[in-house]
Structure 1
Amino acid sequence: MHKTEAINIIERTFSNSFAESEFTLFIKNLLNDIDTTKYNEYRGNLIKDSFKDHIRQYKRIGKYTDPKGESLDVLVIEVKDQTKLDKARTSLRNFVINHLENFEKDYALAAFYSNSDHGADWRFSYVKLEYKTEVSEGKLKQSKELTPAKRYSFLVGKHEQAHTAKKQLLPLLENIYNNPTIEELEEAFSIEKVTDEFFEQYKGLFIKLSEHFEHDTNGLKEQLAEADIDIPRFTKKLLGQIVFLYFIQKKGWLGVPKNEKWGKGDKKYLQNLYYEAVDNGHNFFGYYLQRLFYKALAHKHADKGIPGYYKKLHCKVPFLNGGLFEADYDWKNSGITIPNDLFRNQEKVKKSGDIGTGVLDVFDRYNFTIKEDEPLEKEVAVDPEMLGKVFENMLEVTERKSKGAFYTPREIVHYMCQESLIHYLDNSINDNPSTYLELGGSQVYLVGNEIKYGQKSLMSEQKHIIVPKEDIDIFIRKGFFALENDQRVLREGKETKTYRFQLPESIRLNADLIDKKLADIKICDPAIGSGAFPVGMLHELVNAQLVLKQYISNKYLKKKLEILNVTKEEIDEQSDKYNYRLKRHTIQESIYGVDIDASATDIARLRMWLSLVVDEEDLDNIEALPNLDYKIVCGNSLVGLPENAMRDLNVEKELEDLKEEFFLANDELYKKDLRTKINGKIRQLLSTAEAFAGYKIDFDYKLYFSEVWHYNGGFDIVIGNPPWLALIGKQLKKYKKVDESKNLKIYKSQYIFNSYMPNLYEFFLQKAYRITKERGILNFIIPDRFGFNESSVELRNFFIKNSILKEIVYKWNFPQIITDTMTFVCQKSKPTNDYGFLIKNDTHSVSIPYKLSEITDDSELIFRSFDSLRTKSLINRVKKNSIPLINHAKSTSGFGALAGLVTKMKENERQMPVLKGSSIGSYVIKEPFYFEFKGENIGGRTRDESKLSIKNKVLLRKTGFPIICAYDKSGYYPEQSLYFFYSISNLISNEFLLLLFNSSLYNWYYKNYLVTNLDSTPQLKNKDLDVFPLRIPSNIEIYNKIGCYIYFLEKTEVSNLIVKSFFKDLSDAMVFELFFPSEIKSAEKEILIHLQGLESISEKLSDAEKLAVINIEFQRLYDPNHPVRNNVETLDSVEEVRIIKDALK
């Protein structure tokens, strides 16, 4: 079958709700000679009673016999409810077992679905009866045991991706000449969707192994202590070693016959090695695994003159180098063992019902793929990126979270890496410190959408643009996807109507220059974790250079190949050779990282090695992995040599030469000697600095990575997700547990910090700035409070004065944390003009252009976000020609009552009526609470009774949306859940403030300008009240009169809702006219001009008289022909009004 047709069948079948006709068509194409004459349907009494709660009906649509004579049934099973697919998996599996036993079969392909969700989510499973051989009373016996269905299932349907099913089933579907064997079908089903279950089972393995090692009596702990390694790290390393071998055995590198090439090995080598150990009565770890790790893989072998052949294992084994398989203990003499049943057993997994909780049992249930840089065609499997996530979650088990570290989702990493490269290339290629950033080329949506064009350009003063930034953007984001298209154009020698270059001309013409910039880049993650960002940057750099390869000049290519240590003939013969050498060179020259957790650096190095292994396709000679000890370093990023410390440049140059040798060294003794020399020199310099500084130093950037400063002046890009940890209260106690050197005082002495709630990310931001070169890029994901909290204003001020802001994006989807996030990108350059930058309200919004002055004009230097450019423009128009409310009205919070002392009912005569937030509604108070007002009952700062007892005051509730604002004439004291105005100028009135704060415009302004997080309960701050925009009308008496009307109607609870509604709408319209007078006049919707002569209601009038006045005015103004009614009802024809009202719906 043609590949395209096969793919279409798979996608129609597995990417949609279950359809029996499509499934049957797929099966007939998969199993060429299936016998459909055996079709049967079973329902009602034909379903065994024990399964009737779960099974509605099932069909046997055919019987298949493979080339070896093994038979298999194909079943379609309708369960009674979709939830049964997950919650009754054991019963469903047992149901299939029952069928197989009745029909004397050992295998089945089964589709499980339910009509409760119209078959939207369903399961395609391979089930077999497994025969386990065991010894009983000296005789061999076989017992039937079903392999867990989950292990051999694809979860498919309209809500699931079918990529795994497509990838694994496609070869069988394409092969129309041969019927698949049962073994081939089983192999296709040996993969399942990787979920959190993998982590849970992996954590179980970690705990079991750790507990075993903790109780070891062979001196393991003592030996590890000498090497400064604890049991958790040793356990994680062991699991990492095994996982690594799972990856490389998939490449056929293990168990390779001595006369075969690499790639021809046993793809279940570890599993078969285990069975060999069991068959020979040996301990798998003690007798086999240690020898494989520390003898076979850690050394070069050429027994019998055959490169790679190791006679003790009777096969070829690759020399991996790098340090992963270097022993941390005396493995030959330690006597350490791990029970075989920790590798394989028959225990049942509680949640899933799977059989086997050993290391090999768990890993066998999942597919491993080394590729972690595929785009949309991503395998649902355990890849290095997934492994990184698991390892970082594992670090939480050993206090990783207490250090404020969280795994960064792949999508965020991908975006940040690309964004960093775009800015880096723009800065390094185009010497253009422009007055305004180019904002008109494109608006990039961050999550899966196309680039949007058409916004007006704000560019001014371009200087020597070689490659426009928008072209760089296309190159980095889409260049790799354009590769195949553009290669075709190059082969044709010209563009055609069908095929045109997708890569911009400026990129193609300047390929040498761009490639050189990419090759020379220096990147660092100061809190590397599992290596997500460095690995992400590695993939972006390699992909970008692969795109450029077809355009670079022959002269440049020749020089580049010399540097990469590969010939043109080699890459012409084997294109993957170029990829491999490029990636290896990038790791050596460009990637750096630091983490305080040694386990984190272990997994980061592991991911780097795996990224190399994926591209190593030299079947004659597998190259040894590089040593990354001085590229990815364990240490405290924040504490280094004092900035003014004397540096020994001669020793640093010696260290650079030694580190370069060490990177490529592959002889164990030579490496040991080099490591001793390097560490000795580093320790000597650090010890000298410690004596001068007075505190412990275990790491320094300019010492460990001195070559970066000698040749580059710092890092071109510093990127990452620093720890988010508030160093107060319980968090501080946790931090002190994991930070034995108690560096908090040192941090405070060296960095800007907020005294209210110092946080580790603030220190990392500043450290990142210091290690970034001039004009380099800093790109961090951090808590969003950095963008607007008052406590962060000093740090914002530092970056505003000392860097050029590039982009801020709020509200990233970060599933495992509660804190809202932002990405912050800046360039290390002092600003010289009123430049432009971008802020996004969230990942789906368009970029909103800002000028620096828009931030610096605000005393709090807030990085405000808006949902649209239109909203921002409207906000600015409202602010223009307005004055801050504080100029005419002063506000404060109510008194602070101690907990439990404010009561709903009056409990004694000493209590007085007071008001809480819940005491007020819109315009009026509802009912008071009671409180004994005396010193010992009061907390907080507001105690001044002369303010609290003001007779007439406007009250505002502190929390919630919309704003709740009321007028109080009682003189009751407001409690701290309320704000109140205690001083108002004679130019405005309480009634006027009442209208403003209950208006749509003020609510819209509050929501879009002052509220920082609408996803949580908004909180009105006292400083927010101060900055509400105020315009004082010349005809304020009209506003006062309408305010009195509404207050009276609300207070007396007038039953005519139309009257109330009309005057509220009228007041709303009057506020709009106050702020948009020319727009409303142009639309001929004026209102105030028609309210001249409005009658007032004075306090002298009785309630009945007041109501009569209001009703008379209502009848007059509500007349269908009166311009006030017409204009109020049609006011949203004015664009500004319509935008604001729509935003509040």
Structure 2
Amino acid sequence: MDKKAAINLIEDTFNAHFSEEQFTLFARNLLNDLEPKSNAYSGNYIWDDYKDHINTYKRIGKYVDPEGEALDVLIVEVKSVLKLERARTALRNFVIKHLSKFEKDYALVAFYSKEDEGADWRFSYIKLEYRSELDEAKGKVKTKKEFTPAKRYSFLVGEYEKAHTAKNQLLPLLQNIANNPTVEELESAFSIEKVTDEFFNQYKDLYVKLFEHFENDTHIKAELAKANIDNARFTKKLLGQIVFLYFLQKKGWLGVPKDQVWGKGQKRFIQNLFDQSQSENANFFKDKLQFLFYEALAKERNNDNSFYKKFNCRIPFLNGGLFEAEYDWQNANISIPTSLFRNEEKNKAGDIGTGALDVFDRYNFTIKEDEPLDKEVAVDPEMLGKVFENMLEITERKSKGAFYTPREIVHYMCQESLIHYLDNSLNDTTASYQAIDSSQPALFPGSTDKKGNLKIELEHKGKVTVPKADIETYIREGHFALENDQRVANTGKETAAYKYQLPESIRQHAELINTKLTEIRICDPAIGSGAFPVGLLHELVNAMLVLKPHFSDKYLKEKLVKLGFENNGETLSVVEVNESRYIYRLKRHIIQESIYGVDIDASAIDIARLRLWLSLVVDEDDLDPIETLPNLDYKIVCGNSLINFPENWKSSVSEIIELMKDQFFNETNADIKKQLKISIDDVIADRMSSSEKTFGIQINFDFRLYFSEVWNEKGGFDVVIGNPPYGAKLTAEEKKFFKGEYSDVHMRTPDTFNYFISKGFRLLHNGGVLTYIVPNNLFFQSEYEKTRRFLLSKNQFHIGINLGDGVFNTATVPSSIFLSSRQNRGINNYFYSDIRNVNKKQIDFNSIFKKESISSTLKVPASVFGITQEEFGIIEQLRSVSVTIDDIAEEMASGISTGGDKIFRVADVLAEELKLEKDLLKPVLVGGEIDKYRLQDTHHSVIYTDRATQIKDFKATEAYLSEFKDKLSKRSEAKSGVMPWFALNRQRYPNLFEEDKIIMRQTSDKIRATFDQDGYYVIDSILVFKKDSSCDFSYKYLLSVLNSTALYFLYAKFTQEGGRTFAQVKPLNVRKLFVPKANQDNQKSISLLVDYLLFWNRYKEKNSIESQLFESVLDTTTFELFLGEELKSAGKEILKHLGDLKPITDQMSEEEKLAIIQSEFERLYDPNHPVRYAIETLDSIEEVRIIKEALK
């Protein structure tokens, strides 16, 4: 199909009311070989579970893709528009039942309602997934015919929706008539990621255009400066306000006729307002938007039915602060050119219009937050959060070390936090883990990679009110049971057809659990766009709704009173309570009582508040009056979470502040609200004013002051959750303060995420839960040893997940998740998973954990995570026959830091040509020139200059370096005067290089070492190892150990560097490694083999069969020295079978040396020789097998 015809087909299908004929035409063109079917079902043919939701459904076709995957095409008529929008789980489950009946795994479905004549409908792709598990006997992954919750992806389409996204993503499939689309290609067409990326890029362009205009408009810039408003924040807030309006008009809340109810407004009110401004020759921002923002939406209009005379329509008063002016808008006279809202420019994709309204008009906006199992291919509040967070990065967000957390991770972390909170709150246990074979939640559903994973096992002790396994089922799967259990509750008893699906212990203790959930206090100390608080808000609402059918009438009535359901002093009955208003009040109550957040970035605070407000707006349907939004100024706060008053500092004004804050939260009168804010801020400012003088640093925020009610009620938060910033730029003053304040975790490297871990625990009461996503070097790098010990010994560590790379699109730092409780409860086990090598788009967190021992991890050098119990046993065995390299090392250091490798490292040919003075030239190697037992001299020298060098005495060198003087003078050492401009940054000292030494490549995830006795100098891409004079081990023996599989195993486990991009071999990590004790005879034999390898590798190709054999022999000798008894028992010893190895000496010719090496190779390579037999069968020894398996 040609492009124009394809576009017309998409627009005719999706930019209009639903038409079965048109949809069928589209399906036939999309799928090419669609096999027509004509099966219609209604009445009693609709399954009982779904009769409340569905009138009829039709199967109009069957399709089999080129790979044999079968798909059904369905049309489903739902009962009402509200069902279409809200009963997403039921609609998805209905299709699942159909697919199960017809033995299909995929469906394309049109969902519509006759209530609005199909004006708004959904085009969905639904797929079944199966659980995969590891066949441990065969070591392979197999698919088990056990359904996991299906996924549904939907386009919002219809008369009021734009087909831009559907067009972009479906067009290539329609145009390709030569090939039938695969199911995988169809799924890709429903990709939400593509929409997010495209929307973000266009949003970013909008931001840049607006920002630059405001920067260049001196009048606007002056007005913003007068109001102390940052241009970047003003620009982002303006765009956020406009986007918010798109969501409001989606609900029909804008432009409502005077005699109509909310929901009957104009679906294109903003666009119509713009057109009106153009027809009146008015400025859209100055004459329309400002009045809409700062008057219609921001000011309470009593007794006028929310009618706004200027626009001749009803517009809701929202409150909350989003639309409150922060500048004197009535006198500022700010105009924004029309072209920034609408124009005829083409963007990169060829779309007409690059203004704000042009861009937003292209996309579908949905007010439903996406769930992991149900995604709408549209701009939703969650996507908006991602876009906003990425926008923060454009203006120095990266300098604050913050990055957006993917929704799947947010979902997982929120659920796990609630599970552990409830377990801690409900059960008096010392150990409480998940039942064997019960399912673990999917973080990134879809993976079949289960290698080495174990189910979590149950370990309950003490008094258990609700088993943790039941809590997990309730939090993870409870919402699937809600409709079923409500039906049973309404009937009053279980029947053969309908039985309760929620665990009995949850139903029995529903009121207790709900009370605990109501009492929860949550904080994100680096809130960003609000992903975690919003995620927890949704989890809490779902969890509370699941419990509602199991409340007694008395309890439910008390709850309704607390939520404000009273009319003239009388509590409304359950029947009178509108479900959407119930959810709204529930959310509002959670926001008021449970959720707190802080961020150092004011723009982030604006966004987080906006997302919480949007989450409330979602659940107000057909309400009159619309409930106002709460004021979040003292719930979501701008401040520095890491710089607060000392913990023992007490405030005498907390009760006064709390009373004013409670009133402020719900206040709608602008004057009263303003006065309350002034009063609260004055009290807080008074306490902050002397902070620098008293504590040595300026404090602008304090948790115990702003959130005093949490400490007064509970002594701290129940849950602290978030993605704390890392790598943030710190001032010298901050570094000094953090080093002292967070001495419990600080070692050498200052990093904000590390300090946030300490702070997180301080914010919790004893037993509170801390859940963070942080860089994964927390689990293994030496700089965080103190933090690991703090987590394991001072607190109760529960879960660690090494995610590795690929979690964040914009962040290059590999990530990890951990969950811990404050205060050690004496539980010795935790659960750990390493999924660094798994595709992050397909991770399934079902049964991925291994049970580990806290006491064992504490015994591992530097308390590195990721070492299993059996691996720990082997490490202890290796340790028992060894010394550490730290015990025998005189020096373990990086080479020369030049501050300009391309300047100071010169080819010998060039040095000769320039006649550079030889007294300053030293033969030099870089990392790429060495490997295991191999050194390749590329004939370069380093100009070795230091502070003592009299550069004037070396004319040629001075002349050469002078060409680069400007660049060299800008190096920090030169600028500070530590070194003269011509000197190397850090020279080390000549003896480090000129004496015998082992050198190792530094950029590597394993040790690659060789021996140097020729006095090479090395650049800092190489490590130098010099042994202590008292050490009895020869360098060549040490080299064989360093290059061995056993040491690679130790290094991999102690550092967790395997597979890391830009992994580094660091001196501190090498020092932790073990060297097995060896007598002189064994060392002599091993040294001779090393001689063979070093010489052979000079002349022969890499990985020759000879070098491979000698490396294998050396590898086996190291195993024998580490695991002597095991090799002896198995008859695999080789040291005694090496025989009299012939030495090669300096007096021999090269041919003689090669001949000896060849002769020894042939002797040892003989298939009947015991050395070769031992090498080839070594894996039969269990310890060796485990070591090698761990390195795969």
Secondary structure at the counterpart of residue 549 of structure 1: helix
- Match of residue 609, structure 2, among 581, 600, 605: 605
Tell which deviates more after alignment, 993-1002 or 1091-1100.
1091-1100
Task: Tell me how far 1:1109 sits from its aligned partner.
Answer: 6.2
Residue in 1 aligned with 2:461?
462
Residue in 2 aligned with 1:578?
582
**Alignment-mate amino acid for residue 756 of structure 2:** F
Task: Tell me how far 1:454 sits from its aligned partner.
Answer: 8.8
- Match of residue 965, structure 1, among 1009, 1022, 1026: 1009
Residue in 2 aligned with 1:759?
751
Q: 1:13, 1:19 within 8 Å by CA — same for their partners in 2?
A: no
Task: Tell me how far 1:368 sits from its aligned partner.
Answer: 0.9
Secondary structure at the counterpart of residue 21 of structure 1: coil
Residue in 2 aligned with 1:155?
170
Secondary structure at the counterpart of residue 374 of structure 2: coil
**Alignment-mate amino acid for residue 207 of structure 2:** F
Measure, in 2, the Cα distance between the counterparts of 1:527 and 1:1055. 51
Q: 1:153, 1:192 within 8 Å by CA — same for their partners in 2?
A: no
Tell which deviates more after alignment, 527-536 or 831-840.
831-840
Q: 2:852, 2:869 within 8 Å by CA — same for their partners in 1?
A: no
State the aligned residue count. 983
1:367 to 2:364 alignment: yes
Residue in 2 aligned with 1:386?
383
1:237 to 2:237 alignment: yes
Task: Tell me how far 1:694 sits from its aligned partner.
Answer: 6.0
Secondary structure at the counterpart of residue 398 of structure 1: helix
Could you give the per-residue CA deviations for residues 844-889 of structure 1, whole angstroms, max 9, x where no partner exists? Answer: 583343333334334634x4335x7766665555445543244456
Residue in 2 aligned with 1:669?
671
Could you give the per-residue CA deviations for residues 261-313 of structure 1, whole angstroms, max 9, x where no partner exists? Answer: 2212211122222223333443333333333333322344467x6x3333443
Secondary structure at the counterpart of residue 399 of structure 1: helix
Residue in 2 aligned with 1:507?
506
Residue in 1 aligned with 2:324?
326
Secondary structure at the counterpart of residue 194 of structure 1: helix
Secondary structure at the counterpart of residue 814 of structure 1: coil
**Alignment-mate amino acid for residue 323 of structure 1:** G
Task: Tell me how far 1:526 sits from its aligned partner.
Answer: 1.8
1:22 to 2:34 alignment: yes
Alignment of 1:186-585 (within 5 A): 194-213=195-214, 224-225=224-225, 227-301=227-301, 307-345=305-343, 347-434=344-431, 446-448=443-445, 455=454, 462-487=461-486, 501-566=500-565, 569-570=573-574, 574-585=578-589
**Alignment-mate amino acid for residue 413 of structure 2:** M
Tell which deviates more after alignment, 206-215 or 612-621.
206-215
C-alpha spacing 1:963/1:1017, structure 2 compared with 1 (3 Å): same
Residue in 2 aligned with 1:998?
1043
C-alpha spacing 1:494/1:652, structure 2 compared with 1 (3 Å): same
Could you give the per-residue CA deviations for residues 977-1001 of structure 1, whole angstroms, max 9, x where no partner exists? Answer: 2423434767543443333233333
Residue in 1 aligned with 2:708?
706
Measure, in 2, the Cα distance between the counterparts of 1:424 and 1:766. 19
Q: 2:831, 2:849 within 8 Å by CA — same for their partners in 1?
A: no
Residue in 1 aligned with 2:770?
778
Could you give the per-residue CA deviations for residues 70-97 of structure 1, whole angstroms, max 9, x where no partner exists? Answer: xxxxxxxxxxxxxxxxxxxxxxxxxxxx
C-alpha spacing 1:1055/1:721, structure 2 compared with 1 (3 Å): closer
Secondary structure at the counterpart of residue 426 of structure 1: helix
Secondary structure at the counterpart of residue 1072 of structure 1: helix
Task: Tell me how far 1:897 sits from its aligned partner.
Answer: 7.1
Residue in 2 aligned with 1:636?
640
- Match of residue 1031, structure 1, among 1069, 1072, 1076: 1076
C-alpha spacing 1:603/1:1111, structure 2 compared with 1 (3 Å): closer
Task: Tell me how far 1:796 sits from its aligned partner.
Answer: 4.4
C-alpha spacing 1:847/1:313, structure 2 compared with 1 (3 Å): same
Secondary structure at the counterpart of residue 351 of structure 1: coil
**Alignment-mate amino acid for residue 782 of structure 2:** E
Alignment of 1:928-947 (within 5 A): 930=941, 936=949, 940=986, 942-943=988-989, 945=991
Secondary structure at the counterpart of residue 860 of structure 1: helix
Gaps of 5+ in 2: 1-17, 39-153, 174-181, 566-570, 950-982
- Calculate the aligned-residue CA RMSD, in Å: 4.4
Could you give the per-residue CA deviations for residues 1045-1064 of structure 1, whole angstroms, max 9, x where no partner exists? Answer: 54554467599955544343
State TM-score, norm by structure 2: 0.73
Q: 2:408, 2:443 within 8 Å by CA — same for their partners in 1?
A: no
Task: Tell me how far 1:828 sits from its aligned partner.
Answer: 1.8
**Alignment-mate amino acid for residue 388 of structure 1:** G
Q: 2:221, 2:231 within 8 Å by CA — same for their partners in 1?
A: yes
C-alpha spacing 1:871/1:443, structure 2 compared with 1 (3 Å): farther
1:750 to 2:754 alignment: no
Measure, in 2, the Cα distance between the counterparts of 1:192 and 1:954. 49
Q: 1:528, 1:601 within 8 Å by CA — same for their partners in 2?
A: yes
**Alignment-mate amino acid for residue 819 of structure 1:** V
Task: Tell me how far 1:613 sits from its aligned partner.
Answer: 0.8
C-alpha spacing 1:699/1:8, structure 2 compared with 1 (3 Å): farther
Q: 2:905, 2:942 within 8 Å by CA — same for their partners in 1?
A: yes
Could you give the per-residue CA deviations for residues 772-812 of structure 1, whole angstroms, max 9, x where no partner exists? Answer: 22221222223333443333444445445542222232326
**Alignment-mate amino acid for residue 247 of structure 2:** F
Measure, in 2, the Cα distance between the counterparts of 1:164 and 1:19. 15
**Alignment-mate amino acid for residue 353 of structure 2:** G
Measure, in 1, the Cα distance between the counterparts of 2:858 and 2:442. 27
C-alpha spacing 1:298/1:440, structure 2 compared with 1 (3 Å): same
**Alignment-mate amino acid for residue 640 of structure 2:** N
Could you give the per-residue CA deviations for residues 141-183 of structure 1, whole angstroms, max 9, x where no partner exists? Answer: xxxxxx997795443755889799999xxxxxxxxxxxxxxxx
**Alignment-mate amino acid for residue 685 of structure 1:** R
Tell which deviates more after alignment, 418-427 or 983-992.
983-992
Could you give the per-residue CA deviations for residues 525-552 of structure 1, whole angstroms, max 9, x where no partner exists? Answer: 2222221111111111111111222233
Q: 2:1005, 2:1058 within 8 Å by CA — same for their partners in 1?
A: no
Q: 1:521, 1:590 within 8 Å by CA — same for their partners in 2?
A: yes
Tell which deviates more after alignment, 147-156 or 506-515.
147-156
Measure, in 1, the Cα distance between the counterparts of 2:590 and 2:185. 33
- Match of residue 1115, structure 2, among 1056, 1068, 1084: 1068
Could you give the per-residue CA deviations for residues 296-351 of structure 1, whole angstroms, max 9, x where no partner exists? Answer: 22344467x6x333344332222212122223344444444334443333x22331
Secondary structure at the counterpart of residue 892 of structure 1: strand
**Alignment-mate amino acid for residue 1032 of structure 1:** K
- Match of residue 1015, structure 1, among 1047, 1054, 1060: 1060
Measure, in 1, the Cα distance between the counterparts of 2:1090 and 2:28. 60
C-alpha spacing 1:404/1:461, structure 2 compared with 1 (3 Å): closer
Gaps of 5+ in 1: 1-5, 27-122, 129-146, 168-190, 737-741
State TM-score, norm by structure 1: 0.76
Secondary structure at the counterpart of residue 400 of structure 1: helix
Measure, in 2, the Cα distance between the counterparts of 1:605 and 1:1056. 61
Residue in 2 aligned with 1:107?
none
Could you give the per-residue CA deviations for residues 681-700 of structure 1, whole angstroms, max 9, x where no partner exists? Answer: 33333336566446544322
Measure, in 2, the Cα distance between the counterparts of 1:1060 and 1:683. 73
Q: 2:884, 2:1071 within 8 Å by CA — same for their partners in 1?
A: yes
Measure, in 2, the Cα distance between the counterparts of 1:404 and 1:1017. 20
Asked which structure has the greater RCO (Cα within 8 Å, sep 6+), the reply is: 2
C-alpha spacing 1:249/1:431, structure 2 compared with 1 (3 Å): same
Could you give the per-residue CA deviations for residues 235-272 of structure 1, whole angstroms, max 9, x where no partner exists? Answer: 33332222212111111112222232221221112222
Q: 2:433, 2:459 within 8 Å by CA — same for their partners in 1?
A: yes
Measure, in 2, the Cα distance between the counterparts of 1:571 and 1:630. 35
1:824 to 2:836 alignment: no
C-alpha spacing 1:646/1:619, structure 2 compared with 1 (3 Å): closer
Task: Tell me how far 1:356 sits from its aligned partner.
Answer: 2.0
Q: 1:233, 1:599 within 8 Å by CA — same for their partners in 2?
A: yes
C-alpha spacing 1:1102/1:400, structure 2 compared with 1 (3 Å): closer
Secondary structure at the counterpart of residue 396 of structure 2: coil
Residue in 1 aligned with 2:1175?
1128
Could you give the per-residue CA deviations for residues 188-220 of structure 1, whole angstroms, max 9, x where no partner exists? Answer: xxx996343323333343344445555668x76
Secondary structure at the counterpart of residue 412 of structure 2: helix
